[in-house]
Amino acid sequence: MWEFIKKQPEQLLYNSYQHASLVIQAVIIATVIALVLAIVVLRVPRLAGVANAVSAIGLTIPSFALLGLLIPAIGIGWQPALIAVVFYAVLPILRNAIVGLRGVEPALVESARGMGMGPGLVLLRVELPLAWPVILAGIRISMQMSFGIAAIAAYVLGPGLGTYIFGGLSNNGGAGATESALTGTIGVVIMALIVDGLLVLLARATTSRGIRV
């Protein structure tokens, strides 16, 4: 495998960059979508059951099936890859955001309102900071899952290390097939671990000491 890597270090680095870029952009978009939906659910509690059901159903949809459905509508390339990764990335963040926001003590919210804070300030200065550890746990789960989904997105010619995995599998038994598949797989695992470590550091830097676990 080392010989395989030494033959194309620049291409490997470029594909790694593309893979990480796809995942990080998708998770950022998914986080925004999930937070907006969670806030809506918080304001309209009867939607909580619907949101949880959609999350559960969404996670049961095979990624290959979703990518296959996107091909006729969008084609191949980075667009269906991004949509698929965002779709799956939203689900764990949404669940955790709902749990985190609903877990904020009502007394704290009422105290903030009693101090003259409007709904927007209460959300930004009380609810979101207190729910942040739970939300970030969902983001970490989403990030790990997204690295794997992004690899599968090579099925629609999406960018990233999945090209090595699919290339190796399609050339099974050929020269360099095993090395190609292992390079892609190990590369995805290493990047996922690095990014998760960075998220742990982000959690320590952005979570108040009083609510750290």
Give the residue extent of every domain in the chain: 13-211
Q: What is the pLDDT of residue 47?
A: 81
Q: What is the pTM of this model?
A: 0.89
pLDDT in tens, 73-82: 888 888 999 9
Selection from 42-46, 49-53, 99-103, 115-119 with the highest mean pLDDT: 99-103
pLDDT in tens, 132-182: 999 999 999 999 999 999 999 888 888 888 888 888 877 776 767 888 888
Record: fold of 13-211: MetI-like fold (1.10.3720)
Question: Average pLDDT of the chain?
Answer: 87
Whole-angstrom distance, CA of residue 198 vs CA of residue 143: 11
Quote helix, strand, coil % in the chain, to nearest 5.
Answer: 85, 0, 15
Whole-angstrom distance, CA of residue 188 vs CA of residue 201: 20
DSSP track, 108-132: HHHHHHHTT--HHHHIIIIIHHHHH
Nearest in space to 151 (alpha carbons), one of 55, 53, 18? 18
